Chains A and B, each alone.
Chain A
């Protein structure tokens, strides 16, 4: 039996929702922005599916790595003798518009998260959980789902592994993807050259932007799989309405 965590919500169906309105609205805006960014991002890669390190990189140079896929430009030697249609116009426009949505949503979420204590209460590892044993227990709990402690699969609160992953996504991966993305803008780089120089150059920034984006996509896939395992509609409903309905019955069938 695992130690029960002290959670703010002690009873179901009380006034305090599982997720606050700010968390729910910013969550779905982020979903919208991230899907647009990921899809257009991969489409943009097709116009030059080669990656480099340092300041410069082009087809006259040896890439760090490249993808053996057809390109949407006939100037890229892919080995395929056909060229994909150019989707960069709308992809770029949607990518940047979605990036604005993501950044503005992130600012609202970040301010509200600190002001309301959301980060401290719901995401920072709780006292008594800041040990390797706690991580190990949480991992076992997530895998087996038979410990009977509701908070360990997200119905009432998050375990220490979930908290750490969410903090990493919110405070490391999202800032990193925004930073590396901004470092690809020639106008931004003129105003703030430090952003690109510290990454080792423009092509390094592009390669890092690609990898950080991939990590966020991996997070998205794992996140959705975990939600499906925990009860897709109950978790999704909680993130839409804020309420956890019949959580107890579902947790202990």
Chain B
């Protein structure tokens, strides 16, 4: 072996060792600061993790852009919805008086709330854009109760890391981390553009997460669960989206 190639070999080995050690250290730091998304495994895990970690480091508390009233879309696009079930139609006929939101999991006080209970708890509005992963968008005024107010009422335990939310469509469930769950613009929405939230836009109750794409803003919300780990939910990837090939974190 010539001295040159030995030197190259040693240098290459040192660089590789430094790289592996660096990645291991980065992984440890990222885990400690909650920068690893639940769907970080697999072929596209590195990209998902880099995006989630970068956005959490650079803009954890950043506010989604809000727009003047004049920019509210005249004809917002009502995305396709699954045909309502008979149970849903019965609720709709009764003006959703019997709609209930269950809050459970790692909370001091499990709750069962009607839409009126939510309205009595807190009321905020925001004019933000719904952004679909397909490329289209619209701006609307969203009126609702900040999720943080509900979580405060229920008393989430300190170890809680995710809020899981479910809808009457059992195959569509999502979760968000505490940065989004406690974010002032994350609403349980029951009003839109100064009126009730229409069924086509998710009424009577829709989660609004304006810093993420539209598929995180799940319609017809019935159930919130506070948890410290996503392992026991579905396939453990964080939500139904990664099980269908879409990213759990949809801030991009």
Contact = CB atoms under 8 A, between A and B. Distances in A.
Interface of A: 44-45, 47-48, 50, 55-61, 73-75, 88-90, 92-94, 96-100, 184-193, 196-197, 202-203, 206
Interface stretch (B17-25, B51-59, B109-117, B194-202): B51-59
A97 B44 contact: yes
Interface in B33-58: 43-44, 46-48, 50-51, 55, 58
A61 B77 CA distance: 9
Interface stretch (B65-73, B92-100, B149-157, B159-167): B65-73
B134 A73 contact: yes
Contacts, number: 125
Q: In the A-B complex, list the 6 residue pairs whose CB atoms are closest, starting with the nearest.
A: A187-B251, A191-B59, A89-B245, A97-B47, A93-B44, A58-B77
A202 B47 contact: no
Nearest to A95: B47
Interface of B: 43-44, 46-48, 50-51, 55, 58-59, 62-65, 67, 71, 73, 75-77, 79-80, 129, 131-139, 210-213, 244-247, 250-252
Contact of A89 (B47, B139, B246): B246
Contacts of B210: 186, 190
A125 B131 CA distance: 44
A92 B247 contact: yes
Given A73-B134, A203-B137, A185 B244 contact: no
A61 B137 CA distance: 10
5 contacts: A55-B71, A55-B137, A96-B51, A186-B211, A186-B212
Given A55-B139, A89-B244, 12 more contacts: A48-B135, A58-B136, A88-B134, A88-B246, A90-B245, A94-B44, A96-B247, A97-B44, A97-B47, A188-B251, A191-B62, A193-B65
Nearest to A101: B47
B245 A60 contact: no
A189 B211 CA distance: 8
A186 B77 contact: no
Contacts of B252: 96, 184-188
Nearest to A103: B50
B10 to A, nearest CB: 17
Contact of B136 (A57, A74, A188, A191): A57
A55 B51 CA distance: 24
A55 B250 CA distance: 19
B140 to A, nearest CB: 10
A148 B170 CA distance: 72
A94 B51 CA distance: 12
Nearest to B183: A190
Contacts of B132: 48
B46 A97 contact: yes
Nearest to A74: B80
Nearest to A197: B65
A57 B137 contact: yes
B213 A186 contact: yes
Query: Could you say which of B59, B79, B137, B213 has the most chain A C-beta atoms within 10 Å of its C-beta?
Result: B137
B76 A60 contact: yes
A71 B48 CA distance: 26
* Highest count of chain B CB atoms <10 Å: which of A59, A99, A188, A197: A188
B83 to A, nearest CB: 14
Nearest to B216: A186
A47 B244 contact: no
Given A96-B47, A185-B251, A88 B133 contact: yes
Contact of B75 (A60, A75, A196, A203): A60
B55 A188 contact: yes
A45 to B, nearest CB: 8
A45 B62 CA distance: 29
A190 B65 contact: yes
A187 B133 contact: no
A203 B137 CA distance: 8
A232 B191 CA distance: 63
Nearest to B57: A191
Name the residue among B65, B79, B246, B252 with the largest chain A CB count within 10 angstroms. Answer: B252
Given A61-B75, A186-B212, A100 B245 contact: no
A58 B65 contact: no
